[in-house]
Amino acid sequence: MSNTDFKGLNVLVTGADGFIPSFVCDRLVELGANVTALVRRNSSNVIKSIPHLKTHLKIRWGEISDLSLLVQETKDTDIIYHLGAQSHVQYSLHNPLETYVTNTVGTANVLEAARINDVRKIVHAGSAEVYGKPNKVPITEDNELVPRSPYAAGKVASDRLMFSYFCTYDMPVVMSRFFGIYGPRQSIEKAIPKFILKILNNEPPVVYGDGKQSRDYMYVTDAADAYAKLGVANDVDGQVINIGTGTELTIADLAQKILDLMNSDLKPIFSGKINPGEAGRLFTDPTNCMKKLDWSPKIGLEEGLKNTIDYFTENKELYKHLDVVV
């Protein structure tokens, strides 16, 4: 993929102040796209997520619940990266209706705005969480969907909405399901930042259950590159694409690896409790995405974790007023 693939293209990124979308904005700007970043009106994340991009993109404040705003902002848009969502499984357990409405109605609004304005393509952010406790691993796109949380159920519904617009209106959509994205600026509600900040405070990382749950961890810049490729890839319309590294790592081993990289003598604490809706083994066979996108991850786990540790170490003061909830 070269800069010419995006040169002159008008791109809208929803949820642009979020962790992953902010890196997607980085990559799209680098590739020469004209990027409009849709940011929530009540967001404080924009201060630390995309301030360096202010002179390179347009920031628009608004919600994906506002159809009239989306219709206005998608005029003359070539590609929509629909990445805005309530993205925390834990939050969805306590706020199921809010999560479901935000993620499904928001997706329906994006689709309708795209239909009205004849947008060329939509890249939708699904989730590996839809596979729940998979019946076979590594996970491929034909695995059974077993959503175990309100968040995962909403993502299944959003994917179905996307596919319905592809079938009914011939709308070019692609549904991505990324696995285990991590890196600088990630929410401290997620495992890797949570572990790092605990260790920086000289407290042991707390692992849910026995730590045998496993994930497929991918560094955020690799994910952003894959997202960019999804926007210009041929022969992916109407399809689900799983994107990951293909490497399985247990949460227990992850916690220990971070401790080792931080030269800490602390030991993980295992809580003995599993969160309701906790997914089991989530790692994918990346053969399909590598072939269709001509993509492969460039940042190995150790390098990515070191980058992430460095970021949270250097920015510890930004997070000291926030509780790292176990």
Using one digit for the tens of pLDDT, what is the confidence trace for 9-32? 999 999 998 999 999 999 999 999
CA distance linking residue 60 with residue 146, whole number of Å:
36
Query: How confident is the model at residue 325, as a pLDDT?
Result: 46
Q: CATH fold of 3-180+220-243, please?
A: Rossmann fold (3.40.50)
Length of the chain: 326
Question: What Rg value do the Cα atoms of the chain yield, rounded?
Answer: 19
Give residue 267's region: left, alpha or beta (phi > 0; psi -120 to 50): beta
Residue 326 pLDDT: 45
Helix (H, G, I), strand (E, B) or coil at 35: strand
* Domain ranges within the chain, ordered by starting residue: 3-180+220-243, 182-215+247-282+299-319
Distance, in Å, from the CA atom of 85 to the CA atom of 304, rounded to the nearest integer, reads 25
**Contact predicate 316/169, CB 8 Å:** no
Give residue 277's pLDDT.
Answer: 72
CA 102 to chain centre: 16
- Bridge pairing between strands 214-215 and 173-178: unpaired
Q: Give every residue of the chain whose pLDDT is below 50, as ranges.
A: 3, 47, 325-326
Tokens 């009239």 appear where?
68
Are 63 and 36 in contact by the 8 Å Cβ rule? The answer is: no
Measuring CA to CA, how many Å separate 280 from each of 21, 39, 69, 213, 262? 26, 33, 39, 5, 27
Encoded tokens for 9: 């293209």
182-215+247-282+299-319 has which CATH code?
3.90.25.10
Q: How far is CA 207 from CA 214, 247, 275, in A?
A: 12, 20, 11
